[in-house]
Amino acid sequence: MVQQISFPQTNGYKPLTMTVKLSQSQKDIMSYSDWAPFNKDSISKAPEKAGVYFLGSEHETTYIGAANNIKKILEEHLNTNDSCIRRTVSFCYHETLFPEAEEEKQLTEFQYEHGRLPKCNKSS
């Protein structure tokens, strides 16, 4: 399978797009899950692996985060007192060996497309 990967402009570097040939196992690693209801049953099916995850409201991504254990962090978010996160209705995730780098990439892309971070991500 051939896949095109794009990296947004960051720190003065021009955007980069490259085409790579992936094996089926590499394709599976790079794929994103479908959006699922943000509830105990759906979260129980999430992997206990590293990755980046997305929380969403009815019409938008409201949080992008990285975790060494996707299932564990989603369970923590389900039980949080954070009023912004408590409005979450769905989630999806992407397994990756480098969750922090992928999170930074996704946040940069979101900010580039929307002019801001997701609502529940705190700007630092």
Q: Taking Cα atoms as reference points, which of 80, 76, 31, 37 lies closest to residue 52? A: 31
At which residue do the structure tokens 């769905």 appear? 90
Query: CA 42 to CA 4: how far, in whole Å?
Result: 30
pLDDT tens digit sequence for 44-64:
999 999 999 999 987 899 999
pLDDT at position 86, please?
A: 93
Indicate whether this model's pTM tops 0.85: no
Architecture of the domain made up of 32-124? 3-Layer(aba) Sandwich (3.40)
Residues 69-122 have pLDDT tens digits of: 999 999 999 999 999 999 999 999 999 999 999 999 999 999 999 999 999 997
CATH 3.40.1440.10-classified regions of the chain = 32-124
